Amino acid sequence: MIRGNKYFDPLMGSIGGVFMGTLIYTINASHGFNLSIVAALKQGSYTFIMGGITMKLVENLVRKIDERTRAILIAVTLPTLFATMLTYILHSIKGTPEPIFSTLPTVLLSPFSFFWWANKQRKKFERSTNS
């Protein structure tokens, strides 16, 4: 199994990187292979690194805040804003033909991904503290 540390989750980064890179390639494919592969590689690399960091951030936040609902709300909202802003900046740099459409998957998928991960990690945390 791929191991991370308290700041980075390489497994979640890898899964997200492959998924988002493929999705961004598809979104930009009508602009030709060269432009779409550049966008896909930027997104895949970015998601591997930042996705691994952000998923670990979600996990850390949901474990540090005492009240469950507040913990999940913060662990979803802050990373979603962070991921959306950084993704838009990434795609605004030369090389991505459709920066807004390339940011849209992050806007739409991040809250659900972060909620799923926060809820899963909170349950795991609560089981470990109640034992």
pLDDT, tens digit, 9 for 90 and up, residues 39-70 = 899 889 989 999 999 999 999 999 999 999 99
Phi and psi at 93, nearest 5°, equal: -70, 145
Alpha-carbon distance 8 to 10, whole Å?
A: 6
Residue 124, CB-side half-sphere exposure with 13 Å CA sphere: 10
Read off the pTM.
0.85
pLDDT at position 94: 76
Question: How many other C-beta atoms are found inside a 10 Å radius of the C-beta of residue 42?
Answer: 19
If you average pLDDT over every residue of the chain, what do you get?
A: 92
